[in-house]
Amino acid sequence: MAVNQPTLDMPEMLWKAYIDLEIKLKAHNKVRALYDRLLKRTKHVRVWISRAQFETSLNEIKNARKVFEEADQYFKGDDALREERVMLVEAWLDFEMNRGSNKTVQEVKSRLPRRVKSKRLVKGEDGKDSYWE
């Protein structure tokens, strides 16, 4: 089967079509298994979000939160994946604003990365302190 092949031109399209077919057939356990297999191959943020949205569509709120938490743990440890983590936490926040309580919204808001402005003293040509940047 095509999803077992190691390389494809556009594998995401094949996986999406297969997952959509299983969703249409209401084979929810197969869909979960497909997402698990896909997440072993790629940890792309859109796959995590799609998995959480699938769980939400079934009204499996606890499962959706678990997916978001697992994804957050994956992205949290790597500074190179900071933008992906922001995308994930924003999707999670949207989920909590629609399905969660004030407490869960605040918990997710606290996970959003904060921008830190740092200042440094710039020396002038004469070697003296010139201005802060």
Closest C-alpha to 20, from 61, 62, 50, 63: 50
How far is residue 63 CA from its own chain's centroid?
Answer: 15
Q: What is the pTM of this model?
A: 0.77
Could you give the CA distance from residue 86 to residue 10 in angstroms, rounded to a whole number? 26
Over the stretch 62-83, which tens digit does the pLDDT of each residue have?
999 999 999 999 998 777 888 8
What pLDDT score was predicted for residue 77?
A: 78
What pLDDT score was predicted for residue 66?
A: 97
Kind of pairing, strands 121-123 and 129-132? antiparallel
What pLDDT score was predicted for residue 80?
A: 83
Q: Which residue has the tokens 């606890």?
A: 62
Over the stretch 15-43, which tens digit does the pLDDT of each residue have?
899 999 999 999 999 999 999 999 998 88
Could you give the CA distance from residue 130 to residue 133 in angstroms, rounded to a whole number? 10
Over the stretch 81-128, which tens digit does the pLDDT of each residue have?
888 999 999 999 999 999 999 999 999 999 887 765 566 666 767 766
For residue 132, list its beta bridge partners: 121
What pLDDT score was predicted for residue 76?
A: 86
